[in-house]
Amino acid sequence: MDSERKVIGNKGEDLAAAFLRSRGFRILERNARVSRIGEIDIVALDRETLVFVEVKTRHDVTFGSPEEAVTASKLRTLAACAESWQAAKGWTARPYRIDVIAVDLAGGEPAIRHLESVGG
């Protein structure tokens, strides 16, 4: 990932984490590597439910909105990551869901959209 994309991605993840905290979520982990399967941007707790969050950030919409970048293949990988993370942490009895947070930086104020239960 080139440095500009990394900076934009990190900004989006910071905004997403702050957004979730402002809504009462407890952030458990960020950028959680799950063996060789992949990475989970944010692992949070929404009351009793584990939430595995994919954050997509765009600074312009030339190639579509941020949420359009979350493919069916990516959702399958996230589900596998979520199950592996739960097993590794001993949290398999907790309900979980996969959410997407889309961060749009194309304009003045960042626009944040939270899509709940998109896969899993």
pLDDT in tens, 78-115: 999 999 999 999 998 899 999 999 999 887 789 999 99
* Section 60-68 average pLDDT: 79
C-alpha 25/C-alpha 32 separation (Å) is 17
Tell me which architecture the domain covering 3-119 has in CATH: 3-Layer(aba) Sandwich (3.40)
pLDDT at 1 over 60: no
Q: Return the higher-pLDDT residue of 62 and 66.
A: 66
Mean pLDDT of 33-42: 91
